[in-house]
Homo-oligomer: A and B are copies of this chain.
Amino acid sequence: MLSIGALGKRTGTKVQTIRYYEQIGLMPEPGRTEGGQRRYGDAELDRLAFIRHSRELGFSLEAIRELLDLSDSPERSCAQVDAVAQRQLKEVEARIARLEVLRIELQRMISECSADRVADCRILEVLRDHEECLADHGGPGA
């Protein structure tokens, strides 16, 4: 039986994050000691490890919820699991593509500026004037 701190250490998760996962129903309510402290077993350890690993691969909590639900019905087709993973791959690829555009534009902007004074700075000029920018403006690059 693990305390919340021990579980956190084992999975690389902050204590508050574990309580947060419980609050949003991603982790089950665990058993408690007489004094009211949470105690976890192996099932919870595995579940949290799954969640954390999925987060590291960039899955949203919603997607993880879906994956956890799917993995609870082992006899079903795994096509849906595949679909979730594919969706995530597509998202990652889209993010990379958008960031590549930004990278190119930032590099160009920086390399063009050889001014001393702020007044002549190409970087600020490009930022001021949309038209000088080659990037395709697909929204903030998050």
Answer whether A57 and B105 are a contact pair too, CB < 8 Å, given A100-B96, A119-B75: yes
* A102 partner, pick from B49, B71, B92, B140, beta carbons under 8 A: B92
Binds B, one of A18-26, A28-36, A106-114: A106-114
Which secondary structure dominates where chain A touches chain B? helix
Cα-based distance from A119 to B77 in the complex (angstroms): 9
Q: Report, as a range, how many residues of chain A touch the other chain.
A: 35 or more
A135 at the interface (CB under 8 A from B): yes
A1 at the interface (CB under 8 A from B): no
* A121 partner, pick from B78, B115, B120, B141, beta carbons under 8 A: B78
Interface set of A (CB-CB < 8 Å, partner B) = 46, 49-50, 53-58, 67, 70-71, 73-78, 81-82, 85-86, 88-89, 92-93, 95-96, 99-100, 102-103, 105-107, 109-110, 113, 115-121, 123-124, 127-128, 130, 133, 135, 137-142
Q: A50-B127, A67-B124 are in contact. List 13 more A-B contacts (CB 8 A).
A: A56-B137, A56-B139, A56-B141, A58-B140, A70-B124, A71-B128, A74-B118, A85-B123, A89-B103, A92-B102, A92-B103, A92-B106, A96-B99
